[in-house]
Amino acid sequence: MAASRRRLSLRVVEGGEGDGTRGGGDDQPRPEVRLVQGRRFDAIDEAERHLVQRDRNLFQHAGRVVCVGPQVLDLGGGVKVDGLCIMEVTNEQMRLRFNRACDIRKFDKRAECWISVDCPKDFAQAYRELPGTWRLPHLRAVTTAPTLRPDGSILDRPGYDPDSAVYYDPRGVTFPEIPSAPTRAQALAALERLETLFATLDLVDDIARSAALSAVMTPILRSAMTAAPMHGVSAPVAGSGKSKIVNIAAILAVGHPVPVLALGEEETEKRLGAALISGSPMIVLDNAERPIGGELLCQAITEPIVAPRILGNSS
């Protein structure tokens, strides 16, 4: 009787039918960009052309200039891990990137010649405030494991993939070769291997087992999906393995457990928005003691693109 009360139930919540910086080659001279009074936009345009050619870790995402890099994630209880995130490029970082990509010069009246200068602060700021004009490649997501493109082809080459707008960084892990056209026998063998992950969990029925497999596969394949379902894990008592299922999915997708987003706190929607903007393929909402909802949450599981508000920002 006690064992039956610990059984786990999983369900898939379907949505509706709604729709590392690599510099510019230090062994080569930097191209010159001249600052001329009244020609600021022309100089920015020219500098960006060199930036796109020479900086391979600079993108546009959610109306911001961003890069991909490691970030320490706090899992609570004193546990911290290195994660891979989409990070906004600050104004000072933007100046450094312009300095690395091109030789910015202004005319010195005393010397009567063009001299090299650091990228002006207002130059970098003006560039960052020109969304809609950027030539930077679009970035949709980051992944630390091989995944699929929307057309079903395999993405397993590290770096930025222009076809899917996904940045793949295996973080030093060597993955086995993935067959591009697996046989039925190979697929069944892979399924059996996945099912062993839940062998010690008392899943309540076949629907729960199917949802558990979906929970594991969805974060890895998220970039190939127009929209992805939300997964709910419930059990009548503590210690049934709810967190274990979540951690299995997270470890397979990103290599480590992911921080949880506590419900009921102030600005929950902004916290959810910040998590979406970070590019994480998996967001965990913890301790849902009452029905959950909200416009942004509904949009996140039904729409291919959302526009969340930025935490600490009125925009």
Task: State mean pLDDT over 269-297.
Answer: 81
- Higher-scoring residue by pLDDT: 262, 165: 165
- Supply the mean pLDDT for the chain: 85
Q: pLDDT tens digits for 16-52?
A: 444 334 444 456 789 999 999 999 999 999 999 999 9
67 lies in the same domain as 6: no
Residue 24 within a domain? no
Residue 164 within a domain? no
Q: What integer pLDDT is reported at residue 3 of this predicted model? A: 45
Output the pTM of the full model.
0.81
8 lies in the same domain as 47: no
Rounded to whole angstroms, how far apart are CA atoms 274 and 279? 9
185 lies in the same domain as 291: yes
Q: What integer pLDDT is reported at residue 168 of this predicted model? A: 95
**Residue where a domain terminates, one of 70, 98, 128:** 128
β-pairing verdict for 147-148 and 230-234: unpaired
Domain count along the chain = 2
Is the pLDDT reported for residue 5 higher than 70?
Answer: no
78 lies in the same domain as 9: no
Residue 173 within a domain? no
**Residue where a domain terminates, one of 64, 98, 128:** 128
113 lies in the same domain as 183: no
Q: What integer pLDDT is reported at residue 312 of this predicted model? A: 54
Q: CA-CA distances (angstroms) from residue 249 to 10, 92, 112, 232?
A: 13, 37, 64, 13
Q: What integer pLDDT is reported at residue 1 of this predicted model? A: 42
189 lies in the same domain as 281: yes
Residue 148 within a domain? no
Radius of gyration of the chain, Cα coordinates, nearest whole angstrom:
23
Which among 167, 173, 169 has a CA at the least distance from the CA of 144? 169
121 lies in the same domain as 193: no
Residue 45 within a domain? yes
Residue 146 within a domain? no
Q: What integer pLDDT is reported at residue 138 of this predicted model? A: 96
14 lies in the same domain as 48: no
Residue 166 within a domain? no
102 lies in the same domain as 193: no
Q: pLDDT tens digits for 104-154?
A: 999 999 989 999 999 999 999 999 999 999 999 999 999 999 999 999 999
93 lies in the same domain as 185: no
Is the pLDDT reported for residue 262 higher than 90?
Answer: no
Domain that holds residue 260: 2-18+178-300
Rounded to whole angstroms, how far apart are CA atoms 140 and 167? 8
Residue 309 within a domain? no
**Residue where a domain terminates, one of 128, 163, 186:** 128
- Higher-scoring residue by pLDDT: 236, 120: 120
